[in-house]
Structure 1
Amino acid sequence: MAIRYSIIIPTYNRAQQLLLTLVSFETQTYPKHLFEVIVADDGSTDGTKEMVEGFQASYPIKYVTHQEQLGRSAVRNLGLRHASGLYIIFCDADFLVLPEFIRTVSRYHRKYPMAVISGIPYSWDDAYTHYYPDFSPEEKEHFRYRLTQTNLWNMDFESANEIIPLITPEDILHQTGALSKVVIPSRVPPNIKKQFAKTDVAPWTLLVTRCVSMRRSHLTRIGGFNERFVLYGLEDWDLGYRLHRLKIPFYSIKEVVGYHQEHPTHFRGNVINTENLKIMFETYGFNDSSLNLFALVPPSEDFETYKNTLRVLRRGIRSKLTRSSALLLRRTLQLTAKHFYQQNNTQAYKRSLQWIKKKAKNRKSRVARVLRKMLLKSEKQVE
């Protein structure tokens, strides 16, 4: 039978975490002849190639690589070019899937065959599968606290100079229960999880590549990931935005299907969301408030305010009583995004904000209150 799911795992110098992730696919309850795993290596130098090629998998597995590091988008596209499944599942190298993972994704796709299916926000929980000597002091304190709670703390960790595994491949294969002892209760506030799961505004923010599935034909149609995004930040939401523009729906899996293997934050590399956001504005222009708002309220910093602002704007546009205030709000977001991108003519920008501020001064609707808050944020950007 034909491959139904191609699981693409991009990786760069994550051999130890990747090994556990590959082992976790051994435990899948979904028929192994119906899925394949493609490890797309962005030029690792830590023995990833040898580990994958020596891995004795009971499912089809492919290893593809760039000879040099080309970035997060390019390596995912590399995996996509070698995929044969009807659906593509993007799974991070540090995402440890549970046995029902593919079966659960398949159940959602049977109900929503044309949709993007996301493991976010219910699979945001972390697990300490390894100790890293280059954890930051704060990360080491979190590690110590969690392992002390489960009686796994060992003073030897404090003097360790090498990575120490806490979970072994045998623990995953034989479901020993060891994993449950190192799971970290989610640090994501319930209100943020709730906002991610809602798809009434900006549903494309559900596309987070830790764990997400979609039709291969849809990815081919839009050309995969934008390879101008090289480092961390926005490459997944950019892909989601383009799929959203094709009217493709988004749904969240309302159960835990895996755990992120906790690691030092610096593994992600430099966060350059500012430059990546400029790429998005250059690509799509300034006519969409859901993008323009990124310049004032980055969703990664305040997701609840981001979504609620879009809701207020949408309701305001629909009502004759608040439409003029809503249009001023939309104009404010557009002006701020343009100024963020161009970084010029600051005086003209300030004059425009002052004109809008004067217009909004005595208005009492909720739209007007949000407008004044956004104006205040806009003014602070040029102080």
Structure 2
Amino acid sequence: MAIRYSVIIPTYNRAQQLLLTLTSFETQTFPKHLFEVIVADDGSTDGTKEMVEGFKASYPLVYVSHPEQRGRSAVRNLGLRRARGLYIIFCDADFLVLPDFIKTVSRYHRKYPKSVLSGIPYSWDDAFTHYYPDFSPEEKEHCRSILTQSGLWNPGLEAANEMIPIITPEDILHQTGALSKVVAPSRVPPTTKKQFAATDVAPWMLLVTRCVSIRRSQLIRIGGFNERFVLYGLEDWDLGYRLHRLRVPFYSIKEVVGYHQEHPTYLRGNVLNTENLKIMFETYGFNDSSLNLFALIPPSEDFETYKNTLRVLRKGIRSKLTRSSALLLKRTLRIAAKQFFDPKNTPAYQKSLHLIQRKAANRKSRVAHVLREMLLKSEKLVEK
């Protein structure tokens, strides 16, 4: 039978975490001849190639690589070119999947065959599979707390000068129960999780490549990831945005299907990379308020306010009583995005904002209130 799922795992110098992730696919309850795992290596120098090629997988395992680092988008596209499955599952090298992972994804795709399925926000919990000497003081304390509760803390870890495994491949393969002892509930606020799961506005933001499944034909149609995104940040939401423009639906898998292997924060990179946001504005222009709002309310900083602002705007547009205020809000967001993209016309932006301020001064609707908040944020952006 043909491969149904191609799991693409991009990686760069994550050999020890990747080893556990590859092992977790050994435990899948989904038939192993119906899925493949493609490790797309972006020029790792830590022995990743040797580890993958020496891994004795019971499922089809493919290794592809760039000779030197080219970025997160390019390496995912490299894996995509080798994929044979009807569906593509993007899975991070540090995402440890549970035995029913692919089985669960398959069940959801039977119900939503042409949709994007996201493991976020229900699979956001961390697992301390390794101890890192370069954890921040807060991360060390968090790790110590979780391991102490489960009886796994060893004071000698704090003297380590290299990464120490806490969970072994054997723990994963034989499901010893050790993994459950190192899981740390996500510190993402419940309100933020709720907003991520909601698809009434900006549903494309569910496309987070830690764990997401997409029909391969849809990815090919839009050309995969935009390889202009080299640095960390927004390359997954850019892909989701393009799929959304094709009216592809988005759904969240409402079950835990895996755990993120915790690592030092600095490895994540800058969550909102300003140069990448400028690429999005350059690519799509300034006609979409859901993009323009990024300039004033980065979703990574306040996801709830971001989405609620879009809801207020949408509701305001639909009402004759508040439509004029909503249109002023749209204009304000457009001005802010243009200022963010190209600050050379600051006097013109300031003049436009002052005009909107005068028009909004005595309005009392919820839309007008949000409008004034966005005007204040826009003024601060112009003053930078």
Preserved contact between residue 231 and residue 272 of structure 1 (Cα < 8 Å): no
Counterparts of 1:255 and 1:85 in 2: how far apart (Å)?
Answer: 23
Q: Secondary structure at the match of 1:356?
A: helix
- Contact 2:233-2:270 within 8 A present in 1 as well: no
Moved more, 232-241 or 141-150: 141-150
Q: Counterpart in 1 of 2:125?
A: 125
Checking the alignment, whether the CA contact within 8 Å between 2:339 and 2:382 is kept in structure 1 is no
Q: Secondary structure at the match of 2:259?
A: strand
Aligned AA (2:201): V
Matched position secondary structure for 1:345: helix
CA distance in 2, matches of 1:296, 1:368: 17
Deviations 1:317-364 (A, max 9, x none): 011000000000000000000010011121111111111011001101
Q: Which residue of 1 aligns with 2:50?
A: 50
Q: Does 1:249 align with 2:249?
A: yes
Equivalent-residue separation in structure 1 for 2:82 and 2:27 (angstroms): 24
Could you tell me how far 1:186 is from its partner in structure 2? 1.2
Q: Aligned letter for 1:122?
A: Y
TM-superposed deviation, 1:51: 0.3
Residue 156 of structure 1 aligns with an amino acid whose one-letter code is: G
The answer to whether the 8 A contact 1:24-1:98 is kept is yes
1:36 is matched with 36
- Cα distance change, pair 202–45 in 1 and its aligned pair in 2 (3 A): same
Tell which deviates more after alignment, 316-325 or 150-159: 150-159
Which of 148-157 and 64-73 deviates more? Answer: 148-157
Other-structure match for 1:193? 193
SS in 1 for 2:263: coil
Taking only aligned residues, the RMSD between alpha carbons, in angstroms, comes to: 0.8
Q: Is the Cα–Cα contact under 8 Å of residues 349 and 382 in structure 2 kept in the other structure?
A: no
Distance in 2 between residues matched to 1:364 and 1:244, nearest whole Å? 34
In structure 2, the gaps of 5 or more residues are none
The amino acid of 2:120's aligned partner reads I
Contact 1:101/1:258 (<8 A) preserved: yes
- Other-structure match for 1:94: 94
What are the residue-to-residue correspondences of 1:108-123 with 2, within 5 Å?
Answer: 108-123=108-123
Question: Take 2:142 and 2:128, find their aligned partners in 1: how far apart are those partners?
Answer: 10
CA positional deviation for 1:270: 4.8
- 2-structure distance, mates of 1:157, 1:281: 46
Q: What does 1:173-322 align with in structure 2 at a 5 Å threshold?
A: 173-270=173-270, 273-322=273-322
CA distance in 1, matches of 2:272, 2:110: 38
d(CA) in 2 for partners of 1:89, 1:230: 21
- Maintained 8 Å contact 2:339/2:381: no
SS of 1:251 mapped into structure 2? strand
- Equivalents in 2 of 1:103, 1:152: separation in Å? 31
- The CA distance in 2 between the partners of 1:270 and 1:67, in whole Å, is 25
Greater shift in the superposed pair: 133-142 or 215-224: 133-142
Comparing 344-353 with 314-323, greater Cα deviation is found at 344-353
* Contact 2:202/2:290, CA 8 A, preserved across alignment: yes
> What is the CA–CA distance in structure 2 between the aligned matches of 1:152 and 1:268, rounded to whole Å?
26
Query: Given residue 234 of structure 2, which amino acid in structure 1 is its aligned partner?
Result: L
Deviations 1:133-154 (A, max 9, x none): 1111221121112212222211
Q: Which sections of structure 1, spanning at least 5 residues, go unmatched?
A: none
Residue type of the alignment partner of 1:299: P
Superposition deviation, residue 267 in structure 1: 1.7
Give the whole-Å Cα distance in 2 for the aligned partners of 1:105 and 1:238. Answer: 22
Structure-1 residue corresponding to 2:363: 363
CA contact (8 A) 1:9 1:92 kept: yes
Task: Give the Cα–Cα distance (whole angstroms) in 2 for the partners of residues 148 and 109 of structure 1.
Answer: 40
Match in the other structure for 1:16: 16
Provide the C-alpha distance between the structure 1 equivalents of 2:29 and 2:147, rounded to a whole number of angstroms.
Answer: 30
The aligned amino acid for 2:317 is I
Listed one character per residue, the Cα deviations across residues 162-192 of structure 1 (whole Å, up to 9, x for unaligned) are: 1110001110011111001100011011100
1:84 matched residue in structure 2: 84
What residue is the counterpart of 1:374 in the other structure? 374
The match for 2:351 is 351
Residues 272 and 248 of structure 1, relative CA distance in 2, 3 Å threshold: closer
User: Cα deviations across residues 220-268 of structure 1 (Å, max 9, x unaligned)?
Assistant: 0000000000111000000000000000000000010000000011223
- In 1, Cα distance between equivalents of 2:86 and 2:345: 50
Alpha-carbon separation, structure 2, partners of 1:318 and 1:162? 58
Q: Retained in 2: the 8 A contact 1:130–1:164?
A: yes
What residue identity is the alignment partner of 1:381? Answer: L
Percent identity for Structure 1 against Structure 2: 84
Q: TM-score, normalised by structure 2?
A: 0.99
Kept after mapping to 1: 8 A contact 2:272/2:300: no
Letter paired with 1:302: D
Q: Is the 8 A contact 1:231 1:271 kept in 2?
A: no
CA distance in 2, matches of 1:268, 1:364: 42
Distance of 1:70 and 1:88 partners within structure 2: 21
The answer to whether the Cα contact below 8 Å between 2:132 and 2:162 also exists between their aligned partners in 1 is yes
Q: Runs (4+) of structure 1 moved beyond 4 Å?
A: none
TM-score computed with the length of structure 1 as normaliser? 0.99
Query: Deviation of residue 382 (structure 1)?
Result: 2.4
State which drifts further: 155-164 or 79-88: 155-164
Q: Is the 8 A contact 1:10 1:75 kept in 2?
A: yes
